[in-house]
Structure 1
Amino acid sequence: MLTDTLGPKDAVDFSTVKRVLVIKLRHHGDVLLTSPVFQVLQNHYPHLEVDALVYDDTRPMLEHHPAVRQIHTVGREWKHFGPYAKFKAELALLRDLKLQRYDLVIHLTESRRGAWLCRMLKPRYAVVRRYENRRDKFWLNSFTHHYKSIGGNRRHTVEMHLDALRRIGLQASEDERRLVMCLDSEAEQRVNELFKLSKLKGRYIHIHPTSRWLFKCWSVEKCSQLINRLSASGHQIVLTAAPSSDELKMIEQITSRLTMPIVNLSGQLRLQDLAVVVARARLFIGVDSVPMHIAAAQQTPCVTMFGPSGEVEWGPWQSPHQLITSDRHPCRPCGQDGCGNSKVSDCLEQLGLDRVVNAVQLMLTQAEQ
């Protein structure tokens, strides 16, 4: 596909590009939100070999992506290594990356690692977003293309990622911007076994009330009240959470208040398992966290509560959803670790139960039409 003649004058000539490296060293949801970048590159230029560089624990978010050739990883634990072990790990990664002879590097964060890699890999083209805290000559001269993108809860993160492609002359169509997360057959078998043990039959509502950041979570009391009301209405509930001690403690507090049996898979699922559970659900209910983004990738309708984080920037992307936010707190989205850094966010705590129940009923009705 030819580059748009109305594009930038220094657009990349993709006929001279064979291999591309996309760098996204962030958390799970952030990595999943890069998935359209790979798909757009493949759709427009099928000859490209596109690789990813991510943290090792986020690898499952791109593992079965049809447009990703291979995934290189940085170990989260490297920062705890001694000097020699860390140097050895970094050197092995650098050698592996150099062997690929990348023509284009797309760096999607402000990480200094991306600038250093561009210096050492010497790609013909390297593109990065402009950041206020990255204006030194070393950073600026490490890349051939810089682009501006509007943050501050005014533009979705997916679009900000795609701005990197726009900057080098590649425009994505509306229908190729969806998230991509392919299900794993082994994960489907594991989930089948878990459902069989739980005697779960038919469709269910999947609720994932936790987050690694507690200030993004709704109150324990209201979560349990919501589950009780949905259970009393005849809905099967599947409850999940990550295996962290904080999240499991919250789940324990929620389940201790329940009046009817549910299927509790908290702490038992791998990320690929979680994607299968999300994909099979009638509806997903949760907060701003990676399961919400997985629901969007699987086109599972969702009801999501947003507090300190911005729903425009981080909301469910191109999927059926209802957002529940406070209209009584002009300070949101603040991005703070709870009010006064208390890890408790009033804009979430004060969301009414009836609003969430009504949103659930609306989404279920729409799904049946």
Structure 2
Amino acid sequence: MVQRTLIFRRGSIGDAVVSLPALSAIRDRSPEAELAILTNAPVMGRAAHIEAVLGRADLISEYFSLPPGGGGISSMRQVRSAIKSWSPDKLIYLSEPSSIISLLKEYLFFKACGIKNIEAMPFAQSLREYQPKSDNIWESESERLLRAVGLPWPAKLEINFSDEEQNQAEQIITDKITGNPFITFSIGGKLPDKDWGDANWSFVLEKLSAANPSLGLLLIGAEDESVRSAALAQNWRGPVLNLCGKTKPRLSALAMKQAIFYLGHDSGPMHLAALMEVPCIALFSARAKPGAWFPHGDNHHIFYPWEMADSVSNKAGFRTAGSSILSIKHDEVIEACRKLLI
């Protein structure tokens, strides 16, 4: 009989990407098992569902969605009924830790779904904190999740794109960018304390375009970021392709694949770009310990308010930032871009 494993992971694009190493390692450990994900439904379409990144293929065969805000008794009963019908043998907790009270409620819900074996519930303090790696760099959320399940980094990340997806993305770029080298830009972030501000971004984009007038610009983001992104790029001299809200995350990832680099906030599109091995010039606020949410890979240029690193909590899921991102100077960002454009 095939083992069925339910993975609990809340979040959207970035959360899906950072969970990929643990998901791939779980798949490597149990190649014959069926994996399903229990996640939260997006709120008012502002964020993409995890399925929009992971898809339905060899890795994940089923998705169950909790209603936004927890929902009512009726909707929770529907989710419980669907999970019980799927009949998972065990659940693996791969999400940022809830509060202890909420964690207990989640545990009771999992039990009410008929799940007897529950792994990696973050009751222990060690799973509720990021561990230091080196001088002022902390383990990533991906590494914390692997530590929670006791597995090594996988040899390969299990995300596969169909020929149709790859051809469609290539056609989009060919039709609109017309052979020009291009960069990807995303305001992303969605939260005020992760936002560097329109004045800074407009200044950087205008300077880059003036120095590289034939350079293309690919705008990636959600539908509600389309107008703002277009306004920031209004003085761009080369070809501009605004895909905000027009392509699903998997297609957006493939469209970014040939970009010289990604430029923008700490966001889901940033993690997608890193997944496609695109160098990232990424701006962070001091919302988490440095390293916790940095893009995977060594070919990135990270801007972070390092002077605030010691004051930031190492608790997973704990966020404080204020206006810390505004300490980043636009001249430094322009110089990082210039080095990759030489």
Relative to the length of structure 1, the TM-score reads 0.74
1:156 aligned to 122, 140, 158, which one? 140
Aligned equivalents of 1:180 and 1:47: distance in 2? 14
1:304 aligned to 282, 285, 298, which one? 282
Q: Which aligned pairs between 1:178-189 and structure 2 lie closer than 5 A?
A: 180-183=158-161, 185-188=163-166
Question: Does the Cα contact within 8 Å between 1:64 and 1:181 map onto a contact in 2?
Answer: no
Task: Map Cα deviations across residues 220-275 of structure 1 (whole Å, 9 max, x no partner).
Answer: 1221222222223242221233112xx34532542345466533333323222321
Secondary structure of the structure 2 residue equivalent to 1:115: helix
Comparing 183-192 with 38-47, which one deviates more in the overlay? 183-192
Establish whether residue 355 from structure 1 lines up as the match of residue 332 from structure 2. yes
Partner in structure 2 of residue 93 of structure 1? 79
Question: Does the Cα contact within 8 Å between 1:36 and 1:179 map onto a contact in 2?
Answer: yes
Partner in structure 2 of residue 50 of structure 1? 35
Partner in structure 2 of residue 26 of structure 1? 11
Q: Which aligned pairs between 1:67-78 and structure 2 lie closer than 5 A?
A: 67-76=59-68
Secondary structure of the structure 2 residue equivalent to 1:349: helix
Question: Does the Cα contact within 8 Å between 2:170 and 2:255 map onto a contact in 1?
Answer: no
Q: Which aligned pairs between 1:106-117 and structure 2 lie closer than 5 A?
A: 106-109=92-95, 110=98, 112=103, 114-117=106-109
Secondary structure of the structure 2 residue equivalent to 1:307: coil
Question: Does the Cα contact within 8 Å between 1:52 and 1:68 map onto a contact in 2?
Answer: yes
Q: Structure 1 residues 293, 319: closer, same or farther in 2, change over 3 A?
A: farther
**Matched length:** 317
Aligned equivalents of 1:93 and 1:275: distance in 2? 30
Aligned equivalents of 1:195 and 1:251: distance in 2? 18
2:118 aligned to 118, 126, 141, which one? 126
Higher RCO (CA < 8 A, seq sep 6+): 2
The structure with the largest alpha-carbon Rg is 1
CA positional deviation for 1:361: 3.6
Q: Structure 1 residues 117, 200: closer, same or farther in 2, change over 3 A?
A: farther
For the aligned residue pairs, the C-alpha RMSD in angstroms reads 3.2
- Structure 1's unaligned 5+ residue stretches are 1-15, 133-145, 340-344
Question: Does the Cα contact within 8 Å between 1:107 and 1:114 map onto a contact in 2?
Answer: no
1:105 aligned to 91, 99, 102, which one? 91
Matching residue's letter, 1:123:
I
Question: Does the Cα contact within 8 Å between 2:287 and 2:321 map onto a contact in 1?
Answer: no
Q: Structure 1 residues 180, 128: closer, same or farther in 2, change over 3 A?
A: same
Matching residue's letter, 2:18:
L
CA positional deviation for 1:206: 0.5
CA positional deviation for 1:157: 0.5
CA positional deviation for 1:185: 4.8
Aligned equivalents of 1:330 and 1:154: distance in 2? 10
1:291 aligned to 269, 281, 293, which one? 269
Question: Does the Cα contact within 8 Å between 1:205 and 1:237 map onto a contact in 2?
Answer: yes
Secondary structure of the structure 2 residue equivalent to 1:50: strand
Identity in percent: 17
Aligned equivalents of 1:336 and 1:21: distance in 2? 28
Q: Which aligned pairs between 1:197-212 and structure 2 lie closer than 5 A?
A: 198-212=176-190
Comparing 260-269 with 53-62, which one deviates more in the overlay? 260-269
Question: Does the Cα contact within 8 Å between 2:182 and 2:218 map onto a contact in 1?
Answer: yes
- Structure 2's unaligned 5+ residue stretches are 42-48, 132-136
Secondary structure of the structure 1 residue equivalent to 2:257: helix
Aligned equivalents of 2:190 and 2:291: distance in 1? 21
Aligned equivalents of 1:106 and 1:239: distance in 2? 36
Question: Does the Cα contact within 8 Å between 1:208 and 1:239 map onto a contact in 2?
Answer: yes
